């Protein structure tokens, strides 16, 4: 990474919440700090699915919080799904973290995310999972 300096600003290290919470946190925190020193951005994936302590959000050098798709799916169920996702987004914003909503599949989920000013979205509403070859083709073919 040191050799290709401009590339490191494009790199994200994404780790699942369960990875961070599997120990007392110190080995994980130290490794993540080293990545941060190199300019790599850190993202916590599947947030809310493990037994996390909110203290980890303060102690770990993270940039982005990815809300697990199970919460996004619950937005339209009427079972406090909207309230929970709103609280997660607000918590992340208060900690100056970017927020990514995973598993956006419906217009209702997209609209909700937009209204709550979530930074980014991922999901089948935009594209199915693609291979590296298909990604390459997206860049060489003209837009339709």
CATH code for position 125:
3.20.20.450
Percentage above 90 pLDDT, the chain = 5
pLDDT of residue 33: 85
Distance separating alpha carbons of residues 14 and 22, to the nearest angstrom? 16
**pTM for the complete prediction?**
0.68
pLDDT of residue 144: 60
Query: For the chain, which residues score pLDDT lower than 50?
Result: none
Report CA 100 to chain centroid distance, whole Å.
4
pLDDT of residue 45: 81
Q: Which residue segment(s) compose the domain that 23 sits in?
A: 5-140
Q: Facing residues of 99 across strands? A: 65
CB-based contact 87:48 (threshold 8 Å):
no
Render pLDDT for 77-116 as a digit per residue (tens, 0 to 9): 767 778 888 898 999 999 999 999 898 888 888 888 777 8
- Scanning the chain, the segments in alpha helix (DSSP H) are 5-8, 17-20, 26-37, 55-59, 69-73, 81-94, 107-115, 132-140
Domain count, the chain: 1
pLDDT of residue 96: 92
Identify which of 59, 69, 75 has the alpha carbon closest to the alpha carbon of residue 100.
Answer: 69
Identify which of 82, 44, 35, 90 has the alpha carbon closest to the alpha carbon of residue 63.
Answer: 44
Report the run of H or E that residue 15 belongs to, with start and end: strand 12-16
Q: What would the two tokens of residue 103 be?
A: 């598993």
CB-based contact 66:45 (threshold 8 Å):
yes
DSSP 142: P
């Amino acid at each position: 990474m040191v050799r290709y300096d401009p590339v490191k600003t494009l790199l994200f290290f994404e780790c699942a919440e369960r990875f961070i919470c599997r120990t007392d946190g110190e080995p994980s925190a130290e490794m993540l700090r080293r990545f941060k020193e190199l300019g790599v951005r850190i993202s916590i994936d599947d947030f809310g699915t493990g037994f996390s302590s909110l203290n980890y959000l303060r102690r770990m050098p993270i940039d982005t919080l990815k809300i697990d798709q199970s919460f996004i799916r619950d937005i339209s169920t009427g079972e406090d799904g909207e309230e929970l996702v709103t609280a997660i987004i607000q918590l992340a914003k208060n900690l100056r973290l970017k927020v990514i909503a995973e598993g956006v599949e419906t217009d209702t989920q997209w609209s909700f995310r937009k209204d709550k000013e979530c930074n980014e979205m991922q999901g089948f509403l935009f594209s199915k999972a693609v291979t590296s070859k298909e990604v390459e083709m997206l860049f060489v073919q003209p837009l339709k």
